[in-house]
Amino acid sequence: MNQTIRDRYNVTITGKGTQPILFAHGFGCDQSMWRYVAPAFEAHYQVVRFDYIGHGKASRDAYNRERYASLQGYAQDVLDICQDLNLEGIIFVGHSVSSMIGLLASIQEPSRFKRLIMVSPSPHYINEIGYTGGFERIDIEELLDTMDSNFLGWATVMGPAIMANRERPELGQELTNSFCATDQSIAQQFARVTFLGDNRRDLVKVGRPSLIIQSIADDIAPVAVGEYMAQHMPQSTLQVIQAQGHSPHLSAPAETILAIQHYLQATN
């Protein structure tokens, strides 16, 4: 039976406005991660959320290893959803790797997008000469090897580490549970595409104004990454918020909401 786009990606639409704001979750997560942020925009926007294939309630049967061998496959998912819903003038809000996915989608079809908002983004996670990504290559390779050999153990360790905020262990546990609920084989390939990818050369191609929201303390995407992006992306604004960890939309939603609202008010 053929699935509709809305069913395939478990698309959810709420809000009273006509201006579309599209929230895209990060690796190993689903649209529920936006539950503290997205409702703040429902009074004035058409709020669209979805799950990537293999995540949340999206179809797992639609997964194709060749399509998702690069982030371009996920960018096409975003464009397929936008085309199906006939979305124009989109404000795209992406967390972590979805920031790069949205960036690629906006390069491919710039006329569909009005603004890009990137929460904890990184174009490249590996330290290079003249670039601080946050990890040595051997660290990433060990992380990926651990995922392959002991996925549950990896999730148990990485959930709290990525979330930080140790005084609130329930946040790290939620992320661990989310990782474990993701299709393991899909997560393993997505992790390689994410952590071994390099989108630094794509930054200069962005033709839309962008907001980069970076936590003051984030071991996955340190502030230096946000500063690099702001220097290389035309029409970009860097906002460092006083949040801990890689998921401020969960750990510091009020600050995240204010950063987005202030930016949209200042640039509309």
Report the catalytic residues: 96, 218, 246
DSSP β-bridge partners for residue 46: 20
Residue (of 16, 25, 76, 78) closest to 55 by Cα position: 25
The sign of the CA dihedral 101, 117, 130, 216 is: negative
Q: Is 91 helix (H, G, I), strand (E, B) or coil?
A: strand
Side chain identity at 265, as an amino acid letter?
Q
- In which element (H, E) is residue 19 found? strand 19-24
Nearest-angstrom CA–CA distance, 116 and 14? 20
User: Tokens 């999730």 correspond to what residue?
Assistant: 155
